[in-house]
A and B are shown apart, each in its own frame.
Chain A
Amino acid sequence: MAVRDWPYKLEWGKEETIETDILVLGGGIAGCMAAIAAAQSGQKVVLVEKGATKRSGAGGSGCDHWESAATNPCSKITPEELTGAMLDDNDGFNNGISHYIECREGYDRLLDIEKMGGKIRDTGDEFKGAAFRDEKTRLLFAYDYVNRYTLRVWGTTFKPAMYNELKHLGVRIIDRVMVTSLLNRPGNAGNRIIGATGIHSRTGRFYIFKAKASIMCMSRPSRIWLFSASLPGLCEFRPPQCVGDGHAMGWRAGAEFTMMEKSVGAEFSAAGRSYPPYGAGNNHNTWYGSTLIDSTGREIPYSDRDGNIIEDISGRFKPSSGQKFFLKGGSVDNPKYQYRGPETLPFYEMIAKGYKLPFYADLSGLPESERRVIWGMMVGEEGKTKIPVYKNYTEAGFDPEKHVLQCYGTGWTSAQFLPDERQLFGLPGGFLNDWDLSTNLEGLFVAGDSLYASNCYGHAAATGHYAGRHAAEYSSGCQKTEPYKRQVNEEKERVYSPVNNKPTSGIGWKELNMGISKIMRNYCGEVKHDELLQIGLDQLADYGNRIMSETYAHNPHELIRLLEVFDILTVSEIILHSCLRRKASSKPLCFIKYNSNEASGAGKLITIRQDDNVIRTRELDVDFFGDLNENYEKHNKKYVGEKSSHK
């Protein structure tokens, strides 16, 4: 095996076995909250994280919005109304169970995080008297100031608070270990999950985890279509090591997925295509409510859903006349009329009316509190903004009272992409779940971005906690099982094989990722043809059969990166198989099939899993989960009971 000058002690092949009741796979928001809930239920918990739990995951560096907190004391809408709108806006192609959990329990989780030391309200009275502040609770709201269901929060404080809570509860945190596979009983895909394997990213040590229940809390897949070998860390919106390992190992273990045919035209943060998120001119998410101006300094007005110009700045934060509430947020792209909120004129109208490119975000004319809450609080608390945007821009002289920040692309966007450059974004596919957030594999629960149609921070926290509770309930009634030796040994052989190849002629992780993403752009682009999808599968199979055995890694770090790309290859195959199985175009799935209309497949999820290398699919009604409130209460008697007794 490779021996090089490496700063850490090499432990290639050395085994360590760790036993626990509950194994949490991934230490992002969902994983931390799952581990906290499971530990509070009295279970012994081990959390395994590829990076460093204190700041790991998509939300590790911060978060400025907490969406869908429908049960906060100022909210004017119910969890049922909000989940109903989220489902309807996507013609049903959304995760009713997980979003109902988000809407119903998200605020409970915020209160938990506050108890852990996170800041969720304006305790320093920095925004006293602002239109978006509730003076009694000191909560700050975003978007719809009438209905008040999305909160502005100080999310840079959240992850360290969760990390301390994990330690306080005695959760064993294992950082720098990539989980590489799930272990089934008795060693065959499709059966109960009894643990996992992992490999240390600094030493190369091999880990075997035995658990009664496991919770999948890893990321959504990425770097499928987008890859830059020179700046791989900037390929996508989420962190570069969040590539969807969970989806790949779940697939190998026989887990059932849905909506994996969905991808959207890339919009976010890819090397060479974009600017730092929230660091270029726009009026969306963090910057919602900002004024846009054109290159002559002329203001571009906001209008309501009927096209009426909104004269007053306060009107940007109110529903239209006759509308109860509007939807805005990370996964709301182009909402239906019923849910459409105030927005600046569409791009073609701006050009027709003589506005000149480029446009700029202009905070200078906003009320002082609105300017300060965007620049200084939200740009500052949102992930990747405190240092890269707020500190760096301020030090370089940016003054929001004087300067305007340029928009790129046609209007507000901060990047321009080609049609075949796609991403798993805007409610992408993932693990299929039931009302216990259990997968089809006994003993495997799922939360956060692993779930199908997942979205933001509050969703991750709420589903994480929920999965932690349900996994604990399952775990307390069952026994641990010994891993099957053959399965462990096969995995060990798989993960170490690249280290034994020849370094000089070897193919590295970047070359392989570039190859895969080119195949996906060529054969699984904006418009899907069955013939092309099949060629894509054949080429990936060739990579799997021939090229993977030529790959090489110099050290444990490179090996982890390479194993990630193996997982990207597996996820690409899931996507191609799923695209082949959906026969007709589907608007809510952003899915265009050559020569087809939307006649068939509307209202039906297609699920997919593999069983002894045979692909199995079935159709499922999009609303398979039944009545939200009734089923939630049925599956959460203890939680609902405890909550009502606290009131």
Chain B
Amino acid sequence: MKTMKSTIKNMSEKRAATSEGWFNIPEMPAANPVIIDSEKCTGCNRCVNICQVDLLVPGKVKGAPPVVMFPGECWYCGCCVVECPVEGAIKLRHPLINRAYWIAKEKLK
């Protein structure tokens, strides 16, 4: 329930920051590169300030998690994860089309 609440909060923040009105429902991006755990995030905005592409913007309230406003522009460098002071608060997730395959060598015949 808690997660649902924070998801709704994130969504409404994003809508407030990107859209003009109620009927402008955000489009699902082609990929969600940066996954923020709102339970762990302290809202320090270090990730916002290190990103050279400027994907993220600060949350509306002080201490709130940042909003990934321009997910498509992510270069997948992972500097936001390196910069984050809380282990596991931010994750980089490759789009499905960019997930490479590996196999145990012993299975090759």
Decide if B79 is an interface residue (CB 8 Å cutoff): yes
- B51 touching A51, Cβ below 8 Å: yes
- B70 touching A61, Cβ below 8 Å: no
Min CB distance A281 to B, Å, is 8
Given known contacts A230-B30, A406-B101, A7 and B60 CB-to-CB distance under 8 angstroms? yes
- A406 touching B53, Cβ below 8 Å: no
Decide if A388 is an interface residue (CB 8 Å cutoff): yes
- Report chain A residues within 8 Å CB of B109: 296-297
Give A362 to B16 CA distance when docked, in angstroms: 49
Give A402 to B106 CA distance when docked, in angstroms: 8
- Number of chain A residues close to chain B: CB under 8 A: 60
Interface string of A509-530 (1 = CB under 8 A from B): 0000000000000000000000
Give A579 to B92 CA distance when docked, in angstroms: 40
Give A4 to B57 CA distance when docked, in angstroms: 15
- A60 touching B105, Cβ below 8 Å: no
Tell me the B26-51 residues at the A interface (CB within 8 Å).
29-31, 33, 49-51
- Report chain A residues within 8 Å CB of B55: 233
Q: Which of A234-242, A252-260, A325-333, A430-438 contacts B (4 or more CB under 8 A)?
A: A234-242
- A201 touching B92, Cβ below 8 Å: no
- A403 touching B105, Cβ below 8 Å: yes
Interface string of B68-93 (1 = CB under 8 A from A): 01101111111101110000000010
Give A271 to B77 CA distance when docked, in angstroms: 14
Tell me the A22-57 residues at the B interface (CB within 8 Å).
50-52, 54-57
- B58 touching A7, Cβ below 8 Å: yes
Given known contacts A4-B20, A387-B81, A387-B82, A364 and B52 CB-to-CB distance under 8 angstroms? no
- A276 touching B52, Cβ below 8 Å: no
Given known contacts A51-B53, A54-B50, A296-B109, A6 and B78 CB-to-CB distance under 8 angstroms? no
- B98 touching A276, Cβ below 8 Å: yes
- A51 touching B108, Cβ below 8 Å: no
Give A301 to B103 CA distance when docked, in angstroms: 21
Decide if B100 is an interface residue (CB 8 Å cutoff): yes
Give A406 to B101 CA distance when docked, in angstroms: 6
Tell me the A210-242 residues at the B interface (CB within 8 Å).
229-234, 239-241
Residue among A202, A293, A388, A406 with most chain B CB within 10 A: A388
B51's closest neighbor in chain A, by CB? Answer: A52
Given known contacts A52-B49, A52-B51, A234 and B75 CB-to-CB distance under 8 angstroms? yes
Min CB distance B106 to A, Å, is 8
Decide if B97 is an interface residue (CB 8 Å cutoff): yes
- A239 touching B78, Cβ below 8 Å: no
- Report chain A residues within 8 Å CB of B51: 51-52
B56's closest neighbor in chain A, by CB? Answer: A7
- B30 touching A388, Cβ below 8 Å: no
Decide if B102 is an interface residue (CB 8 Å cutoff): yes
Decide if B63 is an interface residue (CB 8 Å cutoff): no
Decide if B94 is an interface residue (CB 8 Å cutoff): yes
How many A-B pairs with Cβ below 8 Å? 149
A60's closest neighbor in chain B, by CB? Answer: B52
- Report chain A residues within 8 Å CB of B75: 233-234, 239-240, 384
Q: What class of interface size applies to chain B in its complex with A?
A: 35 or more
Decide if A480 is an interface residue (CB 8 Å cutoff): no
Min CB distance B40 to A, Å, is 16
Min CB distance B85 to A, Å, is 15
Give A276 to B33 CA distance when docked, in angstroms: 13
Give A404 to B81 CA distance when docked, in angstroms: 26
- B108 touching A234, Cβ below 8 Å: no
- Report chain B residues within 8 Å CB of A398: 102
- A55 touching B73, Cβ below 8 Å: no
B59's closest neighbor in chain A, by CB? Answer: A7
Give A337 to B108 CA distance when docked, in angstroms: 35
Decide if B17 is an interface residue (CB 8 Å cutoff): yes
- B77 touching A272, Cβ below 8 Å: no
- Report chain B residues within 8 Å CB of A297: 105, 108-109
Decide if A195 is an interface residue (CB 8 Å cutoff): no
- Report chain A residues within 8 Å CB of B104: 402-404
Give A362 to B82 CA distance when docked, in angstroms: 28
Given known contacts A276-B94, A296-B109, A61 and B102 CB-to-CB distance under 8 angstroms? no
- A232 touching B72, Cβ below 8 Å: yes
Give A388 to B81 CA distance when docked, in angstroms: 10
Min CB distance B32 to A, Å, is 12
- B92 touching A388, Cβ below 8 Å: yes
Interface string of A238-272 (1 = CB under 8 A from B): 01110000000000000000000000000000011
- Report chain B residues within 8 Å CB of A60: 52, 77, 79
**Pick from B53, B69, B108: contact of A360, CB under 8 Å:** B108
- A202 touching B54, Cβ below 8 Å: yes
Interface string of A367-405 (1 = CB under 8 A from B): 000000000000000011011100111000010001111
Nearest 9 CB-CB pairings of A with B: A387-B78, A51-B52, A230-B30, A297-B108, A61-B77, A7-B57, A56-B52, A233-B73, A55-B79
Pull 20 A–B residue pairs with CB atoms less than 8 Å apart, ordered by A: A52-B49, A52-B51, A52-B52, A61-B77, A230-B31, A232-B73, A239-B77, A240-B53, A240-B75, A241-B52, A275-B98, A360-B103, A360-B108, A386-B82, A387-B79, A387-B81, A388-B92, A402-B105, A403-B104, A414-B100
* Contacts A51-B51, A55-B50, A233-B75 supplied; 12 other A-B pairs, CB < 8 Å: A4-B20, A52-B49, A231-B30, A232-B72, A233-B33, A234-B95, A279-B100, A360-B103, A384-B78, A386-B82, A388-B76, A402-B104
